[in-house]
């Protein structure tokens, strides 16, 4: 991982012990691109789970023309397609992203596992496959596509890493490290679904493949607040309470979307929200979209959900995180 200007570090008041928290000027969401097993584009309304969707909901592999994509992996093709969709949604010429004033962030729970497995197990693999054994290959393909030369970071993890990615992007913009940031998430699971089948306790099935891209620019006002902590054992409920208290403080969100998984954390979150007179809507997608989850939620906010502030929560393994995004109607 690289460490460009604007790495997280601006504390929110006196956060409780064990809680990492920060506040920064909220960015504006200029464009979105989304490809999932449920379809393309920002989801519209509620999406019922299709009959027979068990274990995995695959996303079609984009067919991108050109010699450069002939050997590109599925992860790379998904990232480029989502990035193109976000730029088009923003009404920008793709050349607008070129240069050192555009940053790029990549978040993923699956990383580059599918390509790594192909490299290790495919007898036909050659040295041509070797560059495609690192998560950096995904954002690298996108930087080539748009000529991006600005700050860059990979964050490997689930939905809580996506929340941290939103924080990174907002911080770069607030610190003038970039004029715009492309936040990418890709989850390609089909080729390694057996690995995730061994750890079903980490998520609610089915697994949902896909790619998301959010194009962010400096916002007009309001603060984004993010907090995270490790929620395990007898102290898990206290951690959830502390994270929510740190993020909400005196604020009251207009909409709450929960990404909490696992009966214990869902219950702890529900009780903490109820004490504040709040309740959570369901997650952004049926099933488990891994790191895509929070980004899908925000595409829905921009795509016509009620205006106002959004509280988005997430869990991954023992991590619990929450992010308050103000004025989603101005996205």
Answer whether CATH 3.40.47.10 is correct for domain 27-44+53-220: yes
pLDDT digits (tens), the chain, 331 positions: 333 444 444 556 567 778 999 999 999 999 999 998 777 665 555 555 554 556 778 888 888 888 788 878 888 999 999 999 999 999 999 999 999 999 999 999 888 777 777 777 776 666 655 666 677 889 999 999 999 999 999 998 889 999 999 999 999 999 999 999 999 999 988 777 777 666 555 566 678 889 999 999 998 778 999 999 998 888 899 999 999 999 998 688 988 888 887 777 888 999 999 999 998 875 556 677 889 989 988 887 776 655 688 899 999 888 999 999 986 545 5
Cα(225)–Cα(170) distance, integer angstroms: 10
pLDDT at residue number 200: 57
CB 291 within 8 A of CB 159: yes
Two structure tokens written together for 168: 């990174």
Give CA–CA dist 5/94, Å, rounded. Answer: 25
Q: Residue 92: its pLDDT value, please?
A: 96
Tokens of 6: 């604007």
Residue 54's CB is within 10 A of a number of other CB atoms, namely: 10
Prediction pTM value? 0.87
Rounded to whole angstroms, the Cα distance separating 16 from 2 reads 28
- The domain spans of the chain are 27-44+53-220, 222-330
Q: How far apart are CA 106 and CA 147, in angstroms?
A: 16
Which helix (H) or strand (E) segment holds residue 270: the answer is helix 263-274
How far is it, in rounded angstroms, from Cα 12 to Cα 24? 9
Query: In this predicted structure, what is the pLDDT of residue 234?
Result: 84
How far is residue 74's CA from residue 114's CA, in Å, rounded to a whole number?
A: 9
Q: What is the pLDDT of residue 5?
A: 42
- Pairing mode, strands 152-156 and 102-108: parallel
């Amino acid at each position: 991982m690289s460490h460009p200007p604007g790495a997280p570090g601006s504390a929110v008041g006196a956060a409780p012990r064990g809680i990492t928290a920060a506040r920064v000027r909220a960015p504006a969401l200029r464009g979105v691109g989304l490809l999932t097993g449920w379809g393309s584009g920002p989801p519209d309304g509620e999406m019922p789970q299709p009959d027979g969707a068990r274990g995995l909901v695959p996303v079609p592999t984009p067919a991108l023309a050109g010699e450069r994509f002939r050997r590109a992996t599925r992860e790379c093709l998904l990232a480029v397609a989502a990035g193109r969709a976000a730029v088009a949604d923003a009404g920008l010429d793709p050349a607008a992203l070129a240069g050192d004033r555009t940053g790029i962030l990549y978040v993923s729970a699956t990383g580059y596992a599918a390509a790594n497995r192909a490299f290790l197990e495919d007898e036909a693999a050659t040295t041509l496959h070797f560059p495609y054994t690192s998560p950096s290959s995904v954002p690298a393909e996108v930087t080539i596509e748009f000529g991006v030369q600005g700050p860059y970071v990979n964050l490997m993890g689930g939905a809580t890493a996506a929340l941290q990615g939103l924080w990174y992007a907002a911080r770069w913009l607030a610190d003038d490290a970039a004029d715009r940031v492309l936040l990418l998430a890709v989850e390609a699971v089909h080729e390694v679904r057996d690995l995730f089948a061994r750890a079903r306790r980490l998520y609610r099935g089915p697994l949902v493949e896909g790619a998301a891209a959010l194009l962010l620019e400096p916002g007009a006002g309001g603060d984004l607040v993010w907090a995270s902590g490790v929620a395990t054992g007898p102290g898990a409920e206290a951690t959830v309470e502390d994270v929510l208290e740190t993020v909400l403080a005196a604020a009251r969100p207009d909409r709450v979307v929960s990404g909490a998984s696992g009966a214990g954390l869902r219950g702890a979150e529900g009780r903490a929200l109820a004490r504040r007179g709040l309740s959570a809507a369901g997650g952004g997608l049926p099933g488990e979209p891994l790191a895509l989850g929070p980004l899908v939620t925000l595409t829905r906010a921009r795509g016509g959900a009620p205006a106002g502030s959004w509280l988005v929560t997430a869990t991954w393994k023992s991590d619990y995180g929450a992010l308050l995004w103000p004025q989603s109607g101005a996205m």
